[in-house]
């Protein structure tokens, strides 16, 4: 890679927003970014150390795209570097990788299922009570059949089935299967939540970094 050809070499970086690491002693460029370059150049850059991990506890690190660009420039000063991804990467580090047991996973699923079932049932019943759905059913029954019925089962049963089907169609999920390839509303909300958490953590770590650079004491990230 020596000689005039290096001057015309393009290197592309695509930083991740968040990455999780465990049981390692350093953070490399490969951990935080994709590298597009000639194979031997990309291999060398991916193995380049960005940060030494010294804290033997769960913590976070902030890696800026400028940190990565400086390292690439040191190795290939004449190359053209383009950043296509994030400006900062949040590295969530844990000293030991923990494996969750199948039993613990199923217990969590069961607990969440019970909570969601109780919560959704309460919400539906509260709505029905506020909207006086029983009276609405009685009015619909009288309108259709011409007589009053205090317990219009012919209206309640189809409504109950339709409510269940409507919920499954809306959430695009039933019995562990998706009806279409589109993301479910829950997946969309989880993605939004994860993005907002990452943005908030990165913002907090950036402020802490600026305080350290300005000589203002701050807590560990």
Q: What is the DSSP string of 1-26?
A: --SGGGGG-EEEEEE-SEEEEES-SE
65 and 9, same structural domain? Answer: yes
**Where do we find the tokens 């795209």?**
65
Q: Residue 39 sits in a domain of what CATH number?
A: 2.60.480.10
Query: CA 19 to CA 23: how far, in whole Å?
Result: 14
pLDDT at 27 over 90: yes
pLDDT at 4 over 50: no
Whole-number pLDDT of residue 72:
94
166 and 185, same structural domain? Answer: yes
Q: What is the span of the domain harbouring residue 108?
A: 102-198
Last residue of a domain, one of 52, 71, 94: 94
121 and 37, same structural domain? Answer: no
Span 12-32, mean pLDDT? 92
Q: Assess if residue 109 is contained within a domain.
A: yes
% of residues, the chain, pLDDT over 70: 94
pLDDT at 107 over 90: yes
Query: CA 203 to CA 74: how far, in whole Å?
Result: 28
pTM: 0.67
Whole-number pLDDT of residue 221:
44
**Total count of domains within the chain:** 2
Query: CA 28 to CA 128: how far, in whole Å?
Result: 56
Whole-number pLDDT of residue 183:
85
Name residue 190's beta-bridge partners.
Answer: none
Cα 8 to chain centroid distance, Å, stands at 38
Q: Assess if residue 15 is contained within a domain.
A: yes
Determine contact, residues 142/149, Cβ cutoff 8 Å. Answer: yes
Write down the H helix ranges in 33-173: 39-46, 65-75, 102-131, 133-145, 153-171
- pLDDT digits 0-9 by tens, 111-167: 998 998 899 889 988 988 888 888 999 998 989 888 888 888 888 899 989 988 888
Query: CA 61 to CA 215: how far, in whole Å?
Result: 19
Selected residue with higher pLDDT from 29 and 180:
29
Coarse DSSP helix, strand, coil percentages of the chain, rounded to the nearest 5 percent? 55, 20, 30
- pLDDT digits 0-9 by tens, 64-77: 999 999 999 999 99
- Helix or strand or coil: residue 172? coil
Q: Are strands 33-36 and 10-15 parallel, antiparallel or unpaired?
A: antiparallel
Q: Assess if residue 181 is contained within a domain.
A: yes
90 and 106, same structural domain? Answer: no
Provide the 8-state DSSP code for 80.
Answer: E
72 and 139, same structural domain? Answer: no
Span 24-35, mean pLDDT? 94
């Amino acid at each position: 890679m020596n000689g005039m050809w290096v001057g015309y070499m393009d290197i592309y970086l695509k930083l991740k927003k968040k990455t999780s690491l465990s049981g390692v002693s350093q953070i490399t460029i490969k951990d935080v970014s994709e590298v597009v370059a000639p194979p031997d150049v990309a291999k060398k850059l991916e193995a380049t150390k960005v940060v030494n991990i010294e804290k033997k506890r769960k913590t976070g690190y902030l890696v800026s795209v400028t940190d990565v660009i400086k390292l690439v420039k040191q190795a290939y000063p004449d190359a053209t570097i383009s950043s296509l991804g994030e400006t900062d990467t949040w590295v969530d580090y844990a000293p030991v990788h923990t494996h969750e047991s199948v039993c613990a996973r199923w217990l969590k699923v069961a607990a969440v299922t019970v909570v969601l079932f109780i919560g959704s049932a309460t919400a539906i019943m509260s709505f029905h009570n506020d909207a006086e759905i029983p009276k609405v059913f009685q009015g619909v029954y009288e309108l259709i059949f011409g007589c009053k019925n205090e317990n219009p089962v012919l209206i309640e049963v189809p409504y109950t089935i339709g409510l269940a089907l409507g919920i499954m169609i809306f959430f695009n999920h039933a019995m562990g299967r998706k009806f279409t390839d589109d993301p479910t509303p829950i997946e969309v909300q989880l993605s939004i939540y994860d993005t907002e958490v990452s943005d908030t953590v990165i913002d907090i770590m950036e402020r802490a970094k600026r305080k350290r650079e300005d000589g203002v004491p701050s807590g560990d990230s």
